[in-house]
A and B are shown apart, each in its own frame.
Chain A
Amino acid sequence: MKSVRLLLCLLAVIAATVSVVAQEGYPLTGTWSGDWGVSAKEADRNHTTLVLGWDGKTISGIVDPGPDTAKIRVATLDTTKWTVRMEYDLKDKSGKLVPFIVEGKLQNPASRKNRTIVGTFTHGSAKGDFKITMD
């Protein structure tokens, strides 16, 4: 048990070290994490992780890697205003896949410091705030 705990601790240290490797290229490329929800109450918040990439023409990526992962359907970055729009499908409370639309603004686009997408989401009839930060 102690060994497992030590191993987990070691992995956490390594993960923390790796996660701070800065990405200096396309502003959205990388791993982002944060949350979204219809209110600020803890029960309404949903943690999310996005892994985004850029092939020179198109932004692609996955959302929440794991059993409920989703693929980014459409994503755009308007570099004149640093606005971001992303569309993908997430399950609603009934388990049905419903379009999830994010509209936000990229803050600190060329900086390692607190590169963040802050905005709103629409998920069926639900609306709320959305915020992710580059790891």
Chain B
Amino acid sequence: MRLATLTAALLLVASLSAMVLGQGPGPTTQAGQGAQGAGQGITPPPTGAQQGARGQAAQGGGRGGGRGAAAAGPALPTPRWPDGKPRLGALPGEKGLWNGGGSTADNTTPYQPWARAVSDDRRANAMEPHTRCKPSGGPRQFATPYGVEILDMRELQRIYILDVGGPHTFRVIYMDKKEHPKDLEPTYYGHSIGRWEGDTLVVDTIGFNERMWIDRGQAPHTEKLHLIEKFTRTDMNSMTYELTVEDPGAYTATWSRTSQMSFRANTELFEFICQDNNFAPELLVGTREFVDRSSVIVP
């Protein structure tokens, strides 16, 4: 019996590893290619509306997936819940995604020497984890190709941020918690708690792991990373995104950055599977210069 259980466990692990090998590069284009020469390809969309949105995302060169297609003319006012709080997502019966907001460090950022050196080296030599279908927390989530959907589930007291491109995943903001759990296991998205300050949603996140980048390479971080993100929807089509970064492992002081997000109406989430569409399987499977498919153990 024990032997059978062990064999089953072994087969399960082996099959999980082998699954990655089963996918060859699909029929893709390079429109989603990132600035570093790698990224996800694109498969045909299921609807015409998505196709339009995606085409614009492709023009973004993988740098955030579009520039926001605000309607001509003055934007409608900020949509609100009956209690007056801003709605961050689409109105009932409508759809829409947010783009932009991924701006982070620059030359004024108070880097520790190692962090500045790593930042420089990353952008010159390294491929970001996102190109290998890794989740990317913090501001990088908003730079995901095709945008993100924000779902405010008030009855659950949770806000979900779902990204279209990348690893087909989501992040949870707990609106009913005042403190983070102690002894958090570090994760890609960390642990987020949110609260309203007037019309601004303030999200406090800790518990990040060091397996991802929070942007496209400018801002290295450690597990000490603490992010405060402020979301203020200023009208139907616009949101101000204020990012504050505190990481004594990587920076000599707290620093902040503000950027804008744009709402793209009539666009919705579609099934994008990063692993299927990644046109750089050698990046997906390995740390090596070549892809060794003779082993069932996929690096």
Contacts and interface: CB of A to CB of B under 8 A. Distances in A.
Verify that A and B bind, or say they do not: yes
B299 to A, nearest CB: 4
Contacts of A55: 249
B117 A79 contact: yes
Contacts of A110: 118, 121-122, 125-126, 220
Interface residues of B, number: 38
Contacts of B249: 25-26, 54-56
Given A25-B210, A25-B249, A26-B222, A113 B13 contact: no
Contacts of A6: 3, 6-7, 10
B91 interface: no
B28 to A, nearest CB: 23
Interface in B202-258: 210-213, 220-224, 248-250
A8 B25 CA distance: 34
Contact of A22 (B7, B129, B222): B129
A13 B297 contact: yes
Nearest to B117: A79
Interface residues of A, number: 33
Nearest to B221: A25
Contact of B13 (A14, A20, A27): A14
B118 A27 contact: yes
A113 B17 contact: no
Given A2-B3, A17-B17, A113-B287, A25 B222 contact: yes
B113 interface: yes
A10 B289 CA distance: 27
Interface in A17-65: 17, 20-27, 29, 54-56
Contacts of B2: 3
A10 B299 contact: no
A84 to B, nearest CB: 12
B211 to A, nearest CB: 6
A17 B122 CA distance: 24
B35 interface: no
Contacts of B248: 56
Contacts of A13: 10, 13-14, 17, 297
A19 B287 CA distance: 12
7 contacts: A10-B6, A10-B9, A25-B221, A26-B250, A109-B117, A110-B220, A111-B126
Given A24-B129, A56-B222, 4 more contacts: A22-B129, A25-B220, A79-B118, A111-B125
For the complex of A and B, list the 4 residue pairs with the smallest distance between their C-beta atoms, beginning with the closest.
A25-B210, A79-B117, A110-B121, A56-B249
